[in-house]
Every structure is written in structure tokens, then in C-alpha cells.
Amino acid sequence: MKQILNILQMLVFFIIYKFYNIFIASGSLIITSGLICLFYWIVYNQIDKMNLFSFFVISFFSVLTILFHNTQFIKWKITIIYTIFSIILLISQFVTKKPIMQKFLENDIKISNINWYNINFVWSIFFLICAVLNIYIALYCSETNWVIFKVFGLTILTFLLILVTGIYINYTKFKKK
């Protein structure tokens, strides 16, 4: 459900951008992100921490984009979020007893600790690469190309890594047998 709502939020951003501009689309991000938090509060009587974090980051960068009429703020949002994700995953990789991916998914997926460390590390590198890609595209490509990359490119890349991670998990389970 969360992934569907996040995709819906990006599609709303894209559609508003196509019909209006990036400033109105940035405002739509605040509204849809707030509505997602409200939805979780009404349906589940709690707001997911990631959705709340996302709402505050989206609101902060969107307000700066609108207030200063400068698209660089919204363009840097994903770079900052992905860099934070990468750092958190790396810290959990080397500092904590369990990598963060294992903490989130170990109840649903049973694999060895070394496989969890591999998955955690790959996702950390993935977020870092996406952050760097976003910087490059934001600085050297047109605004329209950046929006397309943000909405569709990052979604496709994330989906592909989810697929590869699933294959890896199944391979490690199959290899054990």
C-alpha cells in the first residue's frame, strides 16, 4: 500500500508539472504527502515514521522552492534524502549488530546474516549512486528531463533493485537446500 501511495504522489507531481509548472507541482507534493499521512492516521490510527519524515522533508524543500522561486531546492531534495538513507544503511552495516535492512525485514525473510549485510550494502550503494545521478541530471539536463528521471527513472531503478534483491534472496535460499 505504501509503495502505491508513493507512486501516486509522484504521478500527481508529474501530472501537475506537465499542466502547470514545477512550483505548483511542488505545492502538490506537500498536499499529497500530507494526505498520505492523514490516510495512515485515519486507517491505521498511526502515521508511518518514513511517511512523516518524507512529509517534513518534502514540505521544507517545496516551501523553499516556492518561496524563493528557485527549482534547485526541490531538485536537491532527493539527493539529500538518498544520501541520508545511504549513510544510515552504511552506519548500520558497520556499527550495529544487525544491518537496518535485516531489522526491517527479518520477520518476513529468513536468510543468513552475511546475506543481510550484502543486501544492506548494495542498497546503501544504490542510494548513493541515485543521489549522484540526481545531482548530475539536476545540474546538466533540462528541468523536464530531471522531472522524468525523478518520477520514472528512479522508480524503475528502485523496482529493478527490488527485483534483483528478491532474486538474490531466493538464490541464497535455493543454494542452501
Residue 1 has pLDDT above 80, yes or no: no
Q: At what angle do helices 49-68 and 22-44 cross, to 10 degrees?
A: 160
Q: What is the rounded CA–CA span in Å between residue 123 and residue 128?
A: 9
Residue 172 is predicted with a pLDDT of 82
Residue 121 is predicted with a pLDDT of 96
Average pLDDT (167-175) is 83
Express each pLDDT in 58-90 by its tens digit. 999 999 999 999 999 999 999 999 999 999 999
Residue 155 is predicted with a pLDDT of 92
DSSP state of 150: I
Number of Cβ within 10 Å of residue 4's Cβ equals 8
What Cα–Cα distance (Å) separates residue 114 from each residue in 16, 84, 150, 173? 44, 23, 32, 13
Residue 176 is predicted with a pLDDT of 62
Residue pointed to by grid coordinates 549512486: 129
Residue 128 is predicted with a pLDDT of 98
Q: What is the rounded CA–CA span in Å between residue 30 and residue 57?
A: 9
Average pLDDT (16-28) is 97
Number of Cβ within 10 Å of residue 68's Cβ equals 10
Residue 2 is predicted with a pLDDT of 65
Q: Map out the domains of the chain as residue ranges.
A: 1-69, 71-177
Q: Is the pTM of this model over 0.85?
A: yes
Q: Give the pLDDT band (50/70/90) at residue 50.
A: confident
Q: What is the mean pLDDT of the chain?
A: 92
Q: What is the rounded CA–CA span in Å between residue 63 and residue 74?
A: 9
CA atoms within 13 A on the CB side of 132: 7
Q: Give the pLDDT band (50/70/90) at residue 143.
A: very high
Q: What is the rounded CA–CA span in Å between residue 69 and residue 15?
A: 20
